[in-house]
Every structure is written in C-alpha cells, then in structure tokens.
C-alpha cells in the first residue's frame, strides 16, 4: 500500500543523541490514527521529522508513495500535509481572520482563501463572531479552535495534531475532540499525537504507543483501549 503516510525505521537525533530509534508506523487515508506516549518520549520529534524541521538521520518517510524525507517544510505542506502545533500558538497581535489567512500563505487566489475562511467559520461559528478580535485576547478554548481553523486553511489531506488536549479544561477537550472527528468526517486524514490515552482512543481508528524512542504496542483503537497491560506499563 502506497497511500497515506508511512514512517519506516526512522532515527532522529538532536546533537548526537537519538530521540527516535527506528520508528515505523502507517497513517491510513481517511482514518484517525493516534500516537500515544508520555512526556518526552519523542512524539513532537516525530512530527518535526515528518515536517522536515528536524531531518531524520536514517529511515524513510513517504506520503502517497512519494519520498518526503528531509524535504523542506514548505514542500511538505505543498504536498497536502498541515500541522496544528502543541500549545496552539496563534499570533496574539493579529485578528482571528488574519490568523486564518496566514494558514493559506501558499494560496494565490483571494477567492479560494475567502471560500476557505467561510468553511472555517462554518465549522467554528464562534470564530466568525469574533473575526476582528485579536487572537491573544481570546480564551484558551477559542485559541484552540483558531489554531485548528488555521491548520485547515491549506486544505490538507493529512492533518498532524500535536497534543490538542494540553492545558485545556475537560469541557474544551471534549469539544476539541468532537471537532477533530467532524473534520475527519469531512475527508481529512488525522494523525493525532497525545498523552490522553482514553479520550484519544475513543475517537481513533488505530493507535500506536511510543516509549523510549520506539513503538512498543499498536492495534485497533478499541483493542488498545481494552489493553490494561499497555495502560499500566506506559500511562499508569
Ligand atoms: N530542539 C531540541 N533540541 C534538543 N533536544 C530536544 C529538542 N526538542 C526536544 N528535545 C528532546 O527530545 C526528547 C523528546 O522530546 P519531544 O518533545 O519529542 O517529546 P514529546 O513526546 O513530544 O514530549 P511532550 O509530551 O513533553 O511534548 C526530550 O528529551 C527533549 O528534551
């Protein structure tokens, strides 16, 4: 199978120490795939490797059959991959709409940008209500919505989402996860990186567990969520 995202035996290091030590996994088109792991095991490093921000020293990353290992970030994005970074990271001094526009920086046509802004407003009516507000003055939950909206502005096939539950109240986590499901239902493939095992598996199709640089367990989300051994060993 060449469709979707494939990570094959990836080693990524900062300075000399390997953080990822031979990671392999697959993100199937149209599905929600999650990567679970506790603090510091290398989840963000894998996202950085996919985006070409930290180039793997060994291994291969392909997207729809094309080798994207080490491509520059803007080329990875031009291939249909987008990312919602950890901590949401909106531009606080820009308005909601200006933040959204930045997500479409590779799109030349203003009509297309307008259309995508309207789509984002359809998913997040709250952003429409607040389109002229400075992003930095919005609540954490609203900034999370904006960050997802901005990630959709490039009309990605595959959305990488780094710890969307981090620092959000349980209510917003629930809302955020149901938004992720809705985005997936609109045809966007999702790769969700999280520490929150139960809630993440509840919306995922397939999951991987990362520990100390390597994948230590994988399976259908339902089977993984019922696997007490995995839960105890890596999240207990
Ligand atoms: N830019 C960097 N330079 C050097 N070391 C880094 C860098 N980024 C991360 N690391 C180290 O790599 C290891 C893995 O970090 P990473 O952020 O990938 O983990 P994570 O699983 O995403 O953790 P968290 O849940 O805390 O975000 C950590 O030991 C971290 O200190």
Is the minimum distance from the CB of 45 to ligand 1 under 6 angstroms? yes
Whether residues 73 and 167 fall in one domain? yes
pLDDT of residue 49: 97
Question: Which of 155, 180, 198 represents a domain boundary (last residue)?
Answer: 155
Whether residues 132 and 173 fall in one domain? no
Residue 174 Cα to ligand 1 midpoint, Å, equals 26
C-alpha to C-alpha distance for 68 and 52, rounded to whole angstroms: 8
Residue 14 Cα to ligand 1 midpoint, Å, equals 9
Is the minimum distance from the CB of 43 to ligand 1 under 6 angstroms? yes
Query: What residue spans of 124-206 are helical by DSSP H?
Result: 125-129, 140-152, 170-185, 197-203
Arithmetic mean of pLDDT, 113-119:
95
Is the minimum distance from the CB of 46 to ligand 1 under 6 angstroms? no
Condensed to tens digits (0 to 9), the pLDDT of residues 10-24 reads 999 998 889 999 999
Is the minimum distance from the CB of 37 to ligand 1 under 6 angstroms? yes
Residue 85 in domain: no
The boundaries of the domain holding residue 126 are: 90-155
Residue 44 Cα to ligand 1 midpoint, Å, equals 7
Question: Which of 105, 138, 155 represents a domain boundary (last residue)?
Answer: 155
Whether residues 46 and 160 fall in one domain? yes
ipTM: 0.93
Instruction: Look up the pTM and report it.
Output: 0.92
CB atoms within 10 A of CB 40: 10
Condensed to tens digits (0 to 9), the pLDDT of residues 166-225 reads 888 888 888 889 999 999 999 999 999 999 888 999 999 999 999 988 999 999 999 998
Give, using CA atoms, the residue closest to atom 10 of ligand 1: 14
Q: Are 203 and 32 in contact (CB under 8 A)?
A: yes
Is the minimum distance from the CB of 48 to ligand 1 under 6 angstroms? no
Is the minimum distance from the CB of 44 to ligand 1 under 6 angstroms? yes
């Amino acid at each position: 199978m060449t469709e979707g995202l494939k990570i094959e035996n990836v080693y990524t290091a900062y300075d000399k120490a390997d953080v990822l030590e031979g990671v392999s996994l697959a993100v199937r088109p149209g599905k929600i795939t999650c990567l679970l792991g506790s603090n510091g095991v290398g989840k963000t490093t894998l996202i950085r490797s996919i985006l070409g921000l930290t180039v793997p020293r060994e291994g291969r990353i392909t997207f729809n059959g094309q080798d994207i290992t080490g491509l520059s970030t803007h080329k990875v994005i031009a291939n249909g991959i987008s990312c919602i970074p950890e901590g949401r990271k909106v531009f606080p001094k820009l308005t909601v709409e200006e933040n959204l526009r930045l997500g479409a920086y590779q799109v030349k046509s203003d009509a297309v940008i307008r259309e995508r802004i309207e789509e984002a407003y359809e998913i997040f009516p709250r952003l429409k209500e607040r389109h002229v507000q400075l992003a930095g003055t919005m609540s954490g939950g609203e900034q999370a919505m904006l960050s997802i909206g901005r990630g959709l502005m490039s009309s990605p096939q595959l959305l990488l989402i780094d710890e969307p539950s981090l620092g959000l109240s349980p209510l917003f986590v629930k809302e955020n996860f149901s938004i992720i499901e809705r985005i997936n239902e609109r045809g966007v493939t999702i790769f969700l990186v999280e520490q929150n095992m139960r809630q993440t598996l509840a919306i995922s199709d397939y999951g991987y567990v990362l520990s100390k640089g390597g994948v230590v367990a994988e399976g259908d989300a339902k089977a993984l969520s019922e696997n007490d051994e995995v839960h105890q060993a890596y999240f207990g």
